[in-house]
Amino acid sequence: MLFGISIQGPYAPDQPREQHFQSVLESAIAARDAGFDFITTSQSFLNPGPPTHSLATIPLLARLAADLPGMRIMTGVLLVPLNHPLHLVNDLATLDTICGGRLDIGMGLAYRKQEFDNFGVDMKTRGRRFDEAIDVMRMLFTQDLVTHDGQFFQLHEARSRARSIQQPHPPFWIGGYSAAAVRRAAERGDGWYPGAFAELSVLKEQVAVYRNTIKELGKPAQQDRLMVLRFTWIDEDRKRARQLAVEHAEGPHRNYVATGLRESMAEYKSRPWLSGQDLFVENWFAGNPDDIYEQIKLYIEVLRPNRFNFRVSVDPSAHADAHKAVRLLGREVLPRIRKFAAAFEAAN
């Protein structure tokens, strides 16, 4: 079981631009020194809520890889329907080479209408476009010349000039937590990466669907990969950690609602959007190190994931607090939870 940190910004508009990369680098080094196994950073073009700044995923990870020997790096996630597969494969194969074969590719559909409108892509086609793009990417990673005449992409004797170290290609982690996303991850992915807003009770049901689908398809057991992403607030003082969660996470929840996250998934429209105490059970990790340990332990017992990814800050002005949280997780939680996870795996 691997443990990672999500290190993307955002950065407040009034923060000096010279500090943007330095803040991310400090986060990555803090994760490295705290004993984490991987980092992730996501792709976003038009953020909801107040204006913020962020750095582009692939060039950022390429730069960070030099300071993270032995750690895996992950795009978490790339918005595939807003990209061309030939461009993606060339960049991702280059990134895998730069980092010495330590790349994981997280992919998502995107769901904000504003992004689709600005890219001139019909949002109604995103699922079909995503599926075709993944199929084309696999061909480009594994074949010397690709000819493809599809609904959205036409290639004639195309090739990626860059070649990945990992064969046949870096693992594809499919994001999302709608019913269609679960099925897509089992069918087309090498792992499933549901989002931070997927409630534990929902994940429990969907994990069963995901794993049953893998078995039905006759895929090898090693492709049963699940990564849990959780917003995490940790402090020696339980009360302060929970207060920080309330102050800094309610806003992102409201912004995701406002930009259509739930509306993009039909089966979620009738479900209430959680708030208050329910979020501490279903969505957030918040509390002192003992609390966080018990929450992770519960997820291991219920979901049996392969990876945990912690996002320790959503506040553009709180990078110092995020670095402190990473160090506290590494010192007080990781050794204990690794020991429990190893014992749990051995017993099951």
Q: What is the DSSP string of 285-333?
A: EEESHHHHHHHHHHHHHHH--SEEEEE----TT-HHHHHHHHHHIIIII
DSSP H or E run through 192: strand 191-193
Determine the residue type at 260: G
Of 91, 232, 235, the residue nearest 169 (C-alpha): 91
The CATH number for 241's domain is 3.20.20.30
Residue 164 lies in a domain: no
The confidence score (pLDDT) of residue 300 equals 97
Q: Is residue 164 within 8 Å of 112, Cβ to Cβ?
A: no
Are 236 and 230 spatial neighbours (Cβ–Cβ below 8 Å)? Answer: no
One-letter amino acid for residue 237 of the chain: D
Query: Contacts by 155-162 with C-beta closer than 8 Å and gap 24+?
Result: 155/86, 158/86, 160/86, 160/89, 160/90, 160/93, 161/90, 162/89, 162/90, 162/91, 162/93, 162/94, 162/97
Provide the pLDDT confidence category of residue 266 given band limits of 50, 70 and 90: very low
Task: Report if residue 149 sits inside a domain.
Answer: no
Q: 147 in a domain, yes or no?
A: no
- Mean pLDDT is highest, among 146-150, 219-223, 320-324, for 146-150
Report if residue 25 sits inside a domain: yes
Give the separation between CA 193 and CA 223, rounded to whole angstroms: 13
Task: Tell me, yes or no, whether 136 lies in a domain.
Answer: no
Order of all β-strands in the sheet with 2-6: 191-193, 172-175, 103-108, 72-79, 38-41, 2-6, 307-311, 227-234, 285-287
* Residue 132 vs residue 51, higher pLDDT: 132
Q: Is residue 92 part of a domain?
A: yes
- What is the average pLDDT across 98-118? 92
pLDDT, greater one: 18 or 240: 240
State pLDDT tens for residues 179-213. Answer: 889 999 999 999 999 988 788 888 999 999 999 99
The closest alpha carbon to 71, from 93, 94, 97, 104, belongs to 104
The Cα–Cα gap between 297 and 260 comes to 32
Residue 155 pLDDT exceeds 80: yes
- Provide CB contacts within 8 A for 336, sequence distance 6+: 293
Asked whether residue 139 is assigned to any structural domain, the reply reads: no
The dihedral sign for the CA sequence 326, 327, 330, 331: negative
Looking up tokens 């990992």, which residue turns up?
166
**CA atoms of 150 and 42, how far apart (whole Å):** 28
* Residue 327: inside a domain: yes
Going by the DSSP 8-state scheme, the letter that residue 284 receives in this structure is -
Number of domains in the chain: 1
Whether the ω angle into residue 170 lies within 30 degrees of 0, i.e. cis, is: no
**Contact assessment for residue 36 and residue 71, using Cβ atoms and an 8 Å cutoff:** yes
Q: What is the sign of the dihedral through the CA atoms of 159, 220, 80 and 266?
A: positive
* Residues β-bridged to residue 4: 38, 309
Instruction: State which residues form the domain around 250.
Output: 2-124+171-347
Amino acid at 54: S
pLDDT digits (tens, 9 = 90+) for 267-295: 444 455 555 556 666 778 999 999 999 99
Residue 107 three-state SS: strand
**pLDDT above 90 (res 45):** no
Tokens read off for 13: 């508009």
